């Protein structure tokens, strides 16, 4: 969960107190409705983290689903055609197409979402 400090205006992944500020300055949760009013004041833009996460989930889903679907199509193609080269081409082609396609679509999704992020006055937090 993303938390931020009102004193230094930085965002952090979790924690109770700000690691940059002197003393015990409590971090506020960015997801809480009462803290939404402070988000425009931050030095850091946390949207790239969420956009990258959604792109990573899409890529991960594609890579995870590629192998079982490719194996299924390989076995189904072997059963129907009785030709090993055709079945292997069908299975491997599906795996490569699905994995590459999910990676390509996630990159497009991330680029489209990042169009709204203005970097003039804020530094995107990409760590």
**pLDDT (tens digit, 9 = 90+) per residue, 62-120?**
999 999 999 999 999 999 999 999 999 999 999 999 999 999 999 999 989 888 776 66
Give yes or no: residues 29 and 82 share one domain: no
In this structure, the answer to whether residues 37 and 57 fall within a common structural domain is no
Domain that holds residue 33: 2-42
Judge if 80 and 108 occupy the same domain: yes
Cα 52 to Cα 127: distance, rounded to the nearest angstrom? 10
State pTM to two decimals. 0.63
**Domain identity same for 79 and 113:** yes
Q: Are residues 55 and 34 both part of a single domain? A: no
Q: How many domains does the chain have?
A: 2
Q: Which sign, positive or negative, has the C-alpha torsion 25, 30, 34, 38?
A: positive
pLDDT attached to residue 43: 64
């Amino acid at each position: 969960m993303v938390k931020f400090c009102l004193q230094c205006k930085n965002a952090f992944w979790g924690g109770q107190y700000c690691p940059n500020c002197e003393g015990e300055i409590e971090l506020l949760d960015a997801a809480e409705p009462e803290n939404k009013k402070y988000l425009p004041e931050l030095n850091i833009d946390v949207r790239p983290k969420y956009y990258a996460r959604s792109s990573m989930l899409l890529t991960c889903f594609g890579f995870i689903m590629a192998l079982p679907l490719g194996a299924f199509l390989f076995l189904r193609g072997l059963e129907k055609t009785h030709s090993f080269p055709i079945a292997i081409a069908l299975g491997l082609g599906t795996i490569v197409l699905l994995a590459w396609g999910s990676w390509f679509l996630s990159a497009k999704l991330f680029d489209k979402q990042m169009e709204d992020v203005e970097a003039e006055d804020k530094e995107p937090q990409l760590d």
